[in-house]
Every structure is written in structure tokens, then in C-alpha cells.
Structure 1
Amino acid sequence: MQISISVPYDEQRLRRTLRFLANRQMKPYRILGVAFVVLGAALIALDLTSPAGYGITAGGLALLFAVVPITVASGMRMQSAAVKQGYHLSLTDEWAQVSYPLVESRFRWQGLDRVVETPEVWYAMFGKAQALTIPKDLMAPEQQAQFSAFTANLPR
């Protein structure tokens, strides 16, 4: 496999990637959020004037609905200026190489945990919180088919 594409900076793609990664880490917080909402509702049912019940419910709702958007916004603010210049992506049978104008990274496919496919991109997961975004819309149909066949043959 030899695929080479230029990937312009796309803020929405970066937001989707950060949201994808944040959502993967949020399961314990969502469970805690549901527990807080139920506990808060029970306290409110017992005493409508209970400030603790309203506070616990508000905290649970924040865990359910506010943490991911806050995490994504924070992640966007923390991005290096080098990332906001677009990159060149080279995929071979052995390596995935990302070359920004000021930064370069190489990932050996042997270190890959898995590939998650969405309608817009593939996320090559190197660990639980590091994903290489491989956009489909910038690839020719033959390249998409080639990469899809390559990922199907990767050891799981």
C-alpha cells in the first residue's frame, strides 16, 4: 500500500476527532451523572425545598451534557499553531507518517490497537486516547478501497 494525501486544516474535522476521543473516555462520568440525577430527583421528591437535591441534579446534568463540549473547547484552545497548518499523510504497509510544516510523526502499524471507521474518516487508534485521523473525502475511491482492505487484514 502506498497512499499519500495532503490534508488541509479543517476545524470541524479536528472538533469531531476531539469529540470522538472525549466520548470514549466519558462512560464513567455518564454513569456518575445518571446516578447524581436520580439521587437529586429522589431528594427533590422527598423535599421540594432541598437545595442539595437541586445541586446534585445540576451536577449530574453537567456531567451528562457539559463535560464533553468543555473538553472539546479546551482541546481546541490547546492545539499548537503547527497543527493549524494542515499536514501531509503518507500511508505504507509499515508506517503511517504525518508531516506538518514544523512537526513530523511516524506510527508503525504494529503499534496499532484498532481502526475505527466512521462515515467521514478512519481513526487509527494508538492507545485509548491517541487517534490518527485518516479522512475519506480526500482519498480517491481506489485509495479508500485499498486502505479498507489493508485495515481488514491487520491483526486484532
Structure 2
Amino acid sequence: MQISTSVPYDEQRLRRTLRFLANRQMKPFRILGVVVLVLGAAVLALDPTSSAGYGILAGGLVLLFAVVPITVASGMRMQSEVIKQGYHLSLTDEWAQITYPLAESRFRWQGLNRIVETPEAWYAMFGKAQALTIPKELMTPEQREEFAAFAAHLSK
């Protein structure tokens, strides 16, 4: 396999990647949010005038619905200016390589945990919180087929 493409900076693509990673890490917060919501509802059932019950309920809603957007916004603010210049993506049978004008990263496929496919991209997961985004829209149909077959082979 030899796939090579230029990937311009796309803020929405970066947000989708950060949201993808945050959603994978936030399951415990969502479970805790449901527990806190139930606790708040129980407190309010016993005493509808309890300000603590409303506070607990609000805390549960924050855990359920606000943590991921806050995490994504924070991640966007923490990104280096280097990535805003776009990068060149090169995929071979042995390596995935990203080359920015001022930085470069290479990943051996041997270190891959798994590949997750979404409608917009493949996420090559090297660990639980590190993903290499491989955007589908910048690849030719032949390249998409070739990479899909390669990803299926890696998953076995």
C-alpha cells in the first residue's frame, strides 16, 4: 500500500477528532451523571423545595451533557499553531506518517490498537487517547478501497 495525500487544516475535522476521543473517555462521567440525576430526583421527590436537590440535578446534567463540549473546547485551545498549516499524510504497509511544515510523526502499524471507521474518517488508535485521523474525503475511491482492505487485514 502506498497512499499519499495533503490534508489542509480543517477546524471541524479537528473538532470531530477531539469529540471522538472525548466520547470514548467520558463513559464513566455519563454513568456518574445518571446516578447523580437519579439522586437529585430522589431528593426532590422527598422535598420539592430543596435547593440541594436542584443543585444535584444540575450537577448530573452537567456531567451528562457539558463535559464533552468543555473538553473539546479546551482541546481546541490547547492545539499548537503548527497544526494549523495542514499536513501531508503518507500511508505504507509498515508506517503511517504525518508531516507538518515544522514537525513530523511516524507510527508503525505494529503499534496499532485498532482502527475505528466512521462515515467521515478512519481513526487509527495508538493507545486509548491517541488517534491518527485518516480523512476519507481527501482520498480517491481506489485509495479508500485499498485502505479499507488494509484496515480489515490489520484488524484480524
Give the TM-score taking structure 1 as reference length: 0.99
Question: Which residue pairs with 1:98 in the alignment?
Answer: 98
What's the offset of the Cα at 1:127?
0.3
Structure 2 spans left out of the alignment, 5+ residues: none
Question: Which residue pairs with 1:126 in the alignment?
Answer: 126
Cα distance in 2 for partners of 1:60, 1:102 equals: 43
Question: Which residue pairs with 2:68 in the alignment?
Answer: 68
% same residue: 81
Question: Which residue pairs with 1:52 in the alignment?
Answer: 52
Within a 5 Å distance, the mapping from 1:1-156 to structure 2 comes to 1-156=1-156
- What are the Cα deviations for residues 49-108 of structure 1, in whole angstroms up to 9, with x where unaligned? 111111111000000000000000000000000011100000000000000001100000
Structure 1 spans left out of the alignment, 5+ residues: none
Cα distance in 1 for partners of 2:21, 2:96 equals: 19
Which stretch shows the higher mean deviation, 146-155 or 26-35?
A: 146-155
Corresponding residue SS for 1:28: helix
Matched pairs, number = 156
CA RMSD of aligned residues (A): 0.7
